[in-house]
Amino acid sequence: MTRTPVVFIHGAWMHALSWESWAERFASRGYLARTPGWPGEPATAREAREHPDALPDTGLAGLAEHYAAIVRSCEAPPVIVGHSVGGLVAQHLLGAGLGQAAVAIAPAPVNEVGPCPGHTGADAGDGAVVLLSRLRFRDAFANTVGPEEAERLYDRYVVPVPRRLLDDLGCGGRPRSPSALVDVGNVARGPLLLVSGQEDLLVPDAATRAAYKAYGDSTATTALKQFADRGHSLVVDAGWRSVADHVLGWLDERGIRPAGPHPAR
């Protein structure tokens, strides 16, 4: 029987390695875990920070197309799990009929839901990439963990982000890219789980709740899970397992198994 693929999509400021614990956890349950990085992403976060000019000028449309091709290449319709901007892309792909289910964790706002995520305060400058300072990461991204853990997370996972991507998200009052649009009324899509951290300063819990309400007219399954005392780092900090295990339980409740027959989608 074909193992069910899970495609993990990381968000802004994070490297693909941010999913390493999740991939191991899902694989131990029998899923085929895939953690592809963004286009041209280097092997480590340190390399990305040391050579930011080598990063491709990826926009939101290019990011969505990149992951759409990966999802289509899977042997069976995958579960799509995204964090931050990855959560937006996961919703975009599911709304377009790709994948059998999606999980959007602290997702960047879709459609007309709320403002651009709170990415101000980064070391912006005039370059083509934007990097969070260690102080900004600790205060806004990893605000619910201690300083030592925040430093460890920064060293292993934090990368610069193309300014073009932030522009596409509507930062600085710019119009959002069409790739930020999601078909929230698609009744034929698979189940969707939205997850928020109630202490998230970058994508506030209120923004995720507003996204959940935007799906209110669809008869397709949509669920919301809120984690108290958790910030934007909830997928990588010491509490990641409680989030991952909730996702695994939700998939099981939806009848989505690690292996077996898969619906055509």
pLDDT, residue 126, reads 55
In a domain, 262, yes or no: no
Which pLDDT score, from 0 to 100, does residue 260 have? Answer: 64
Tokens of 119: 């990415």
pLDDT (tens, 9 = 90+) of the chain, 265 residues, equals 789 999 999 999 999 999 999 999 999 999 999 999 999 999 999 999 999 988 899 999 999 999 999 999 999 999 999 999 999 999 999 999 999 999 999 999 988 776 566 544 444 445 789 999 999 999 999 999 999 999 999 999 999 999 999 999 988 777 888 888 899 999 999 999 999 999 999 999 999 999 999 999 889 999 999 999 999 999 999 999 999 999 999 999 999 999 866 554 4
Q: Is residue 265 part of a domain?
A: no
Which CATH number do you get for residue 84? 3.40.50.1820
Q: What is the spatial distance between Cα 79 and Cα 256, in angstroms, rounded to a whole number?
A: 9
pLDDT at 262: 53
- Neighbour count for residue 115 (Cβ, 10 Å): 12
**Residue 74 host element (H or E):** none
Identify the pLDDT of residue 264: 44
**Residue 30 is assigned to a structural domain of this protein:** yes
**Would you state the structure tokens that stand for residue 117, as one six-digit string?**
């995520």
Domain span at residue 85 reads 5-253
Backbone φ and ψ of 34, nearest 5°? -125, 130
Q: Is 27 a member of any domain?
A: yes
State residue 118's pLDDT score. Answer: 55
Q: What is the per-residue pLDDT for 10?
A: 98
Output the pLDDT for position 64.
96
User: For residue 90, is it within any domain?
Assistant: yes
Number of domains observed in the structure of the chain? 1
H or E element in which residue 23 lies: helix 20-28
Secondary structure (3-state) at 158: strand
Residue 261 in any domain: the answer is: no
Determine the Cα–Cα distance for residues 160 and 50; give it in Å rounded to an integer.
10
For residue 263, being part of any structural domain is answered with: no
Instruction: Please check whether residue 42 lies inside any domain of the structure.
Output: yes
